[in-house]
Structure 1
Amino acid sequence: MNKVIKVKVKSKHIKSIQAGYPLIAEGAIEPIANDIEEGVIIDLLDENNRFLAKGYYGKQNKGRGWVLSRNQQEVINQLFFEERFNGAINYRKSLFDDAETTAFRIFNGEGDGIGGLTIDYYAGYLLLTWYSKGIYKFKNEIVAALTNVADWQGIYEKKRFDVKGTYIEGDDFVIGEEAQFPLIVKENGIQYAIYLNDGAMTGIFLDQRNVRKTIRNKYASGKTVLNTFSYTGAFSVAAALGGAIKTTSVDLANRSKSKTIEQFSVNGIDYESQAIIVDDVFNYFKYAVRKNLLFDMVILDPPSFARSKKHTFSAGKDYPVLLEQAIQLTEKNGIIVASSNCSTFNMARFKGFIEKAFNERGEKYKILEEYSLPEDFKTIKEFKEGNYLKVVIIQKRP
């Protein structure tokens, strides 16, 4: 790992690197020999061979690595990782001290100084997600660093080395004591059953913590709630605990039903009093229109891209149409929770989608609240793409 390769940055990308942009884009650097290994440390130089930054080489989507330091003398070793992890853990001290929340992010990639790696905390267990072979080459140093700076019972990992970030099947357990699954975690007092050893996802998306709390505390009481793309029903559980009359959870995945039943059950909620439907959301929308169904609250949190037998959904292109259908099923004065984790557009454009959808339906609306990533999903202003989450709570006006 001691070998450092010098790489020229193309002239039009020098200013962005100097300004703190952390991603080494594919087109930002001069061609590197094909036999270079991912994980090699690279010094980025300008056209006059002046040092700009130090990083690692690793293929991730359209990136070719991440900047790690602006100090040419800094050594990327276990001590480097310990210092970064210490800072990240101290930044989240209030969450570690909160007995009502035992699941949150403790290291958020480039936001905490190391692009390509996230670390989540689940009731004493750590989950490392690797987004390139480049950062994975430092696994031993990273695990050793975590052993020195963090308290944990066991470590699990998810590998997303594929160009599109898809999960690579394999043994997810790394070291320590193996957890008993489901592992029950708390989030603002709500319990969730999670799995660190069962495929790409754990059972809950931690970035929606504040939104679930708001649904429970402010909007759910006395409401009928439709939760689309419901996954394991986390929003539905929050709504039910907030006093919703009934929740309806709709997701295409067959296992979503058993997973949602489990989430209701660990919170002492009678799942038989709720509706849990396995169906394509677009098919369900058509059914609901035919049956003249209306809901007091509709939650829209689709994936950035989804494909079923009859439909292909791309958030950047299709969100306004999806929202139009949700508006049709929302009562007057009802609430729509519109959410997207797509990083290719910002909040301003997302609000444009909302305006377009309501205009197409000839309906009025009022924006009540907006959310982006919670504080543990730390981001930096130099990398706006990292702040991907956009949530707008909307009231449909008479």
Structure 2
Amino acid sequence: MNAGANSSLNSIRHELEAAWKLRDALFSHTEALRVFHGPGDSLGVLSQIAIEKFQDHYWVIEWEKGDGPQKALGDAVKKELIEFLKSKAARSAVILERPERGVPAEAKALFGTPPEKIAVSEGRCKVWIRFLNTRHPGLFMDHSPLRLWLLENARDWKVLNTFAYTGSLSVAAGLGGASHVTTLDLSKPTLNWAQENWELNGLKLDQSRFIHGDYFEWLPRLKREKQLFDCVILDPPSSSTSKNGRFSTAKDLVKLHEAALDVLAPEGVLITSINSANVTLSKFESDVGLAARSRKRSFEVLREIQQPVTFPTKLGDPKSRYLKGWVLKALE
């Protein structure tokens, strides 16, 4: 191995160790943590990976770039990565290779014998994390602060969690004392996963409702049922397709929020966030404002939603700050 290659591998080791050290104080508080976030933690080849720790098993996410021979991590880099994780007492890891375009294949073993799934704790919340036969572990780590906020604020609320995925925000609201939580998602498998997470936490099924269906079908239906919620949660994907057509956060934010406001109680709380580098904060705020005015509602900002310290960003790189949103309180 030449001097340049050695220098590169030394740099990789340094970046991994530095990121780990920055998170030292967090390990005792959770079994689920993003321990490396390449876009903010790396200046080199590791900028295209993220590493998440679930007890002593790991997920590695690799964002492939382009179509050429350098689109993926090389064997030497992967070897260094494996050695680093083993030095931290990792028992196994899977890797998900996410192409620049299209749908990734399912995660595959990087080393060790990954379990099918394990139950992990993030503070008071427990969730099932999957490693095999899946494209995602089942927990969006960048919403950890929002789960904590719901744990502290959801008492006695009637909550509607839309685009709920595996329902971690529903669980947080339930554990926070919500009187009832409705969980809505278009995917039946992930909705089943959400119900498993609800039951894992010992929450009562009679204080919940799990709806498999399309947001733009069900929100008008809930309105016709004269349902009003103390809290409505919106965390849509960048795009999705149902039998009714294609949804895009870039184009459909106004009608998305109008539907939510139709079922939000007076003085209710609207939690809205998007995970998109291509929608600016000003565009997002403008569209939410248009929806509010069309429904003659006014809001105050209780808190902003942004990436936590485990998802660092670089100065001068606004696209790395993809997570944006607010917790909004209706003024009546």
TM-score by length of 2: 0.92
Corresponding residue to 1:168 among 102, 105, 110: 105
Contact 1:92/1:106 (CA < 8 Å) preserved in 2? yes
Q: Please tell me whether residue 130 in structure 1 is matched to residue 62 in structure 2.
A: yes
- Between the aligned partners of 2:2 and 2:182, the Cα distance in structure 1 is 56
2:96 is matched with which residue? 158
One-letter amino acid of the structure 2 residue matched with residue 118 of structure 1: A
| 1:272-283 map, 5 Å | 272-283=206-217
Q: Please tell me whether residue 188 in structure 1 is matched to residue 135 in structure 2.
A: no
Q: Please tell me whether residue 144 in structure 1 is matched to residue 78 in structure 2.
A: no
1:105 is matched with which residue? 34
Corresponding residue to 1:224 among 158, 168, 193: 158
- Give me the CA root mean square deviation: 1.9
Contact 2:179/2:207 (CA < 8 Å) preserved in 1? no
Once the 2 structures are TM-superposed, how far is the Cα of residue 348 of structure 1 from its aligned partner?
A: 3.0
Once the 2 structures are TM-superposed, how far is the Cα of residue 223 of structure 1 from its aligned partner?
A: 0.8
- Between the aligned partners of 2:59 and 2:102, the Cα distance in structure 1 is 16
Aligned-partner SS, 2:47: coil
Q: Which has the higher helix share?
A: 2
Contact 1:167/1:199 (CA < 8 Å) preserved in 2? no
Distance 1:165 1:112, change over 3 A: farther
- Between the aligned partners of 1:147 and 1:291, the Cα distance in structure 2 is 54
CA deviations over 1:162-212 (Å, ceiling 9, x no partner): x32621236x11212433x43111112211111011321111111100001
- Between the aligned partners of 2:113 and 2:20, the Cα distance in structure 1 is 21
Corresponding residue to 1:266 among 197, 200, 206: 200
Contact 1:207/1:373 (CA < 8 Å) preserved in 2? yes
One-letter amino acid of the structure 2 residue matched with residue 156 of structure 1: V
Highest Rg: 1 or 2?
Answer: 1
- Between the aligned partners of 1:177 and 1:91, the Cα distance in structure 2 is 28
Once the 2 structures are TM-superposed, how far is the Cα of residue 136 of structure 1 from its aligned partner?
A: 2.1
- Between the aligned partners of 1:391 and 1:353, the Cα distance in structure 2 is 12
One-letter amino acid of the structure 1 residue matched with residue 54 of structure 2: Y
Once the 2 structures are TM-superposed, how far is the Cα of residue 391 of structure 1 from its aligned partner?
A: 2.4
Corresponding residue to 2:146 among 185, 190, 211: 211
Distance 1:384 1:112, change over 3 A: same
- Between the aligned partners of 1:210 and 1:316, the Cα distance in structure 2 is 25
Once the 2 structures are TM-superposed, how far is the Cα of residue 151 of structure 1 from its aligned partner?
A: 2.8
Moved more, 341-350 or 372-381: 341-350
Q: Please tell me whether residue 323 in structure 1 is matched to residue 241 in structure 2.
A: no
Contact 1:369/1:392 (CA < 8 Å) preserved in 2? yes
1:377 is matched with which residue? 311
Q: Please tell me whether residue 235 in structure 1 is matched to residue 174 in structure 2.
A: no
Aligned-partner SS, 1:167: coil
Contact 1:84/1:112 (CA < 8 Å) preserved in 2? yes
Once the 2 structures are TM-superposed, how far is the Cα of residue 367 of structure 1 from its aligned partner?
A: 1.4
Aligned-partner SS, 2:128: strand
Contact 2:59/2:137 (CA < 8 Å) preserved in 1? no
Q: Please tell me whether residue 287 in structure 1 is matched to residue 216 in structure 2.
A: no
Unaligned stretches of 5+ residues in structure 2: 65-69
Distance 1:261 1:302, change over 3 A: same
Contact 1:294/1:329 (CA < 8 Å) preserved in 2? yes
Aligned-partner SS, 1:136: coil
- Between the aligned partners of 1:257 and 1:177, the Cα distance in structure 2 is 27
- Between the aligned partners of 1:105 and 1:247, the Cα distance in structure 2 is 28
- Between the aligned partners of 1:326 and 1:392, the Cα distance in structure 2 is 14
Aligned-partner SS, 1:209: helix
2:247 is matched with which residue? 313
Contact 1:78/1:142 (CA < 8 Å) preserved in 2? no
1:178 is matched with which residue? 114
Once the 2 structures are TM-superposed, how far is the Cα of residue 92 of structure 1 from its aligned partner?
A: 0.5
Aligned-partner SS, 2:326: strand
Q: Number of paired residues?
A: 322
Once the 2 structures are TM-superposed, how far is the Cα of residue 345 of structure 1 from its aligned partner?
A: 2.3
- Between the aligned partners of 1:76 and 1:307, the Cα distance in structure 2 is 46
Distance 1:147 1:80, change over 3 A: farther
Unaligned stretches of 5+ residues in structure 1: 4-72
One-letter amino acid of the structure 1 residue matched with residue 41 of structure 2: D
Aligned-partner SS, 1:375: coil
TM-score by length of 1: 0.77
1:334 is matched with which residue? 268
Once the 2 structures are TM-superposed, how far is the Cα of residue 344 of structure 1 from its aligned partner?
A: 0.9
Aligned-partner SS, 1:134: coil
CA deviations over 1:10-57 (Å, ceiling 9, x no partner): xxxxxxxxxxxxxxxxxxxxxxxxxxxxxxxxxxxxxxxxxxxxxxxx
Distance 1:224 1:314, change over 3 A: same
Distance 1:374 1:147, change over 3 A: same
Contact 1:153/1:176 (CA < 8 Å) preserved in 2? yes
